[in-house]
């Protein structure tokens, strides 16, 4: 067991590069199950969730070979069975993505219920409804079991634009008989990344980047090489940290075209980076002032499906708001447990009123003091790490494996920026 020890208050300066997008990497790993050929993934973040999925694939019989720190070769030619390991699946929510490719490969699946963050209920109804319309018969239990004789293309209208639901249906329908149309599909950049990988493997997907995807079924997929997009969640985290870090930070190797609504939303907190073609520069020495609505009322930031503000950035944005002048309402519309980490910020001195499980009012700026905390989930853990880095005094953060599920060697990146942080035995 490990923990982070942070001495807060050091100005943060320098350059940082984000890793690959975790939410693109995980379904990309699953795509290897659809072919006997080698699939090579580049800029693959070697984070906890990725390593867990790699172990699960290896247990199924997939050959998994790291050729560099962030490049992985996968070959599923000798895959042995369709039953992912129960213990491994319990550690990662994305294990639900085994449903589509294993049904495509074997015509049957036996999948333990997935694990992951404890941030509230996460429906899998969308997965079941879509997969059954493509020809499968599923039974919900622990494990989830299913079988299908043929994948028959059809017209699907999702009851919600579920990211993993859309990805599961893509992974299943690319080898269907005929055409599949997915209406109300998720359109996040990581979904588009999966579509590009599948097309490079021989799939025929159109409408990429929109909420209407058309898939012309093909009989066989081949190997491919694919570079994972930069993680805009990590970009957003370092952007919020840079804005309150009393220094100047440059974030390089960024797909800035994916950040337009994120930047628009963060501007309500006074965060205004200099946007380059592939970089962001943020000056944390400037005072942050929260915007108000034209009528003078307190502004709000709310989460929603893409292109709305991502739920995964709510936690880090809340920390940034504690250091800005003014008041603002955060409305988390997607998960009822996302806001519960705010009690730890309040213990550090933040001016926060938790109205209910979905809404919190932030008043700033607040002087934060170091504290001993435990990371409840990936994004809240990163938010607490940010708060500790700017707080007066020292902090300890336990349960850091939650943070490392989504951020690779984050302590080294922070240390390179000037933070006084150590990873020590707990």
Residues 181 and 236 in one domain: no
Tell me which residue range forms the domain holding 142: 22-227
Residues 208 and 274 in one domain: no
pLDDT tens for residues 272-287? Answer: 999 999 999 999 999 9
Give, in order, the Cα–Cα distances in Å from 104 to each of 73, 112, 299, 340, 358. 21, 18, 47, 39, 38
227, 262, 282 - which closes a domain: 227
Q: What pLDDT does residue 119 have?
A: 39
Residue for token digits 């359109």?
Answer: 187
User: With contact defined as beta carbons under 8 Å apart, do 254 and 18 qualify?
Assistant: yes
Residues 267 and 135 in one domain: no
Which residues make Cβ contacts (< 8 Å) with residue 258, sequence separation at least 6?
Answer: 189, 229, 232
Which residues make Cβ contacts (< 8 Å) with residue 11, sequence separation at least 6?
Answer: 245, 246, 247, 284, 418
Residues 221 and 90 in one domain: yes
Which residues make Cβ contacts (< 8 Å) with residue 224, sequence separation at least 6?
Answer: 39, 40, 197, 200, 201
DSSP-derived pairing of the beta strands 2-7 and 204-206: unpaired
201, 227, 253 - which closes a domain: 227
Q: How many CB atoms lie within 10 A of CB 121?
A: 7
Which residues make Cβ contacts (< 8 Å) with residue 257, sequence separation at least 6?
Answer: none
227, 253, 274 - which closes a domain: 227
By annotation, the residues acting in catalysis are: 117
Residues 347, 286: Cα–Cα separation, whole Å: 26
User: With contact defined as beta carbons under 8 Å apart, do 179 and 153 qualify?
Assistant: yes
pLDDT tens for residues 202-223? Answer: 999 999 999 999 999 999 999 9
Joined tokens for residue 66? 């790291």
Q: What pLDDT does residue 387 have?
A: 98
Residues 105, 79: Cα–Cα separation, whole Å: 10
Return the percentage of the chain with pLDDT > 90, whole number. Answer: 90
**Per-residue confidence band for 122, with pLDDT thresholds at 50, 70 and 90:** low
Residues 44 and 79 in one domain: yes
Residue for token digits 């708001």?
Answer: 321
Q: What is the mean pLDDT of residues 152-176?
A: 96
Residues 283, 3: Cα–Cα separation, whole Å: 29
**Per-residue confidence band for 54, with pLDDT thresholds at 50, 70 and 90:** very high
Q: What pLDDT does residue 318 have?
A: 98
Please report, for the domain that includes residue 344, its CATH number. 3.65.10.10
pLDDT tens for residues 12-28? Answer: 999 999 999 999 999 99
């Amino acid at each position: 067991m490990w923990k982070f020890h942070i001495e807060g208050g050091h100005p943060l300066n320098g350059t940082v590069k984000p890793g690959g997008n975790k939410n693109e990497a995980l379904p990309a790993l699953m795509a290897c199950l659809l072919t006997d050929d080698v699939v090579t993934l580049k800029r693959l973040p070697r984070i906890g969730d990725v390593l867990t999925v790699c172990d699960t694939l290896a247990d199924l019989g997939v050959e998994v070979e790291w050729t560099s720190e962030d490049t992985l070769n996968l070959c599923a030619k000798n895959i042995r069975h369709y039953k992912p390991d129960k213990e491994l699946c319990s550690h990662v929510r994305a294990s639900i993505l085994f449903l589509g490719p294993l049904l495509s490969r074997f015509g049957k699946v036996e999948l333990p219920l997935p694990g992951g963050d404890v941030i509230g209920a996460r429906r899998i109804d969308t997965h079941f409804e879509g997969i059954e319309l493509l020809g499968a018969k599923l039974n919900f239990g622990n494990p989830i079991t299913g079988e299908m004789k043929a994948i028959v293309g059809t017209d699907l209208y999702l009851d919600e634009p579920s990211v993993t639901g859309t990805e599961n249906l893509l992974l299943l329908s690319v080898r269907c008989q005929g055409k599949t149309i997915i209406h109300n599909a998720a359109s996040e950049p990581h979904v588009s990344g999966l579509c590009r990988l599948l097309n490079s493997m021989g799939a025929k997907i159109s409408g990429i980047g929109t909420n209407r995807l058309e898939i012309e079924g093909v009989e066989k997929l081949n190997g491919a090489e694919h570079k994972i997009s930069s993680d805009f969640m990590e970009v957003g985290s370092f952007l919020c940290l840079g804005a309150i870090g009393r220094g100047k930070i440059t974030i390089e190797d960024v797909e800035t075209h994916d950040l337009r609504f994120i930047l628009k939303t963060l501007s309500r907190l006074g965060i205004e980076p200099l946007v380059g073609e592939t970089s962001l520069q943020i000056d944390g020495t400037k005072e942050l002032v929260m915007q108000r609505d034209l009528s003078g009322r307190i502004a709000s930031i709310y989460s929603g499906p893409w292109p709305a503000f991502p739920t995964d950035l709510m936690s880090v944005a809340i920390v940034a708001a504690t250091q800005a002048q003014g008041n603002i309402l955060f409305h988390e519309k997607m998960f009822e447990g996302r806001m519960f980490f705010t009690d730890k910020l309040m213990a550090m001195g933040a001016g926060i009123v938790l109205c209910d499980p979905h809404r919190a009012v932030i008043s700033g700026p607040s002087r934060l003091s170091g504290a001993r905390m435990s990371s409840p989930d990936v994004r809240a853990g990163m938010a607490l790490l940010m708060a500790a880095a700017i707080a007066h005094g020292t902090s300890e953060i336990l349960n850091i494996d939650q943070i490392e599920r989504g951020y690779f060697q984050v302590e080294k990146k922070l240390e390179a920026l000037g933070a006084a942080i150590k990873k020590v035995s707990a």
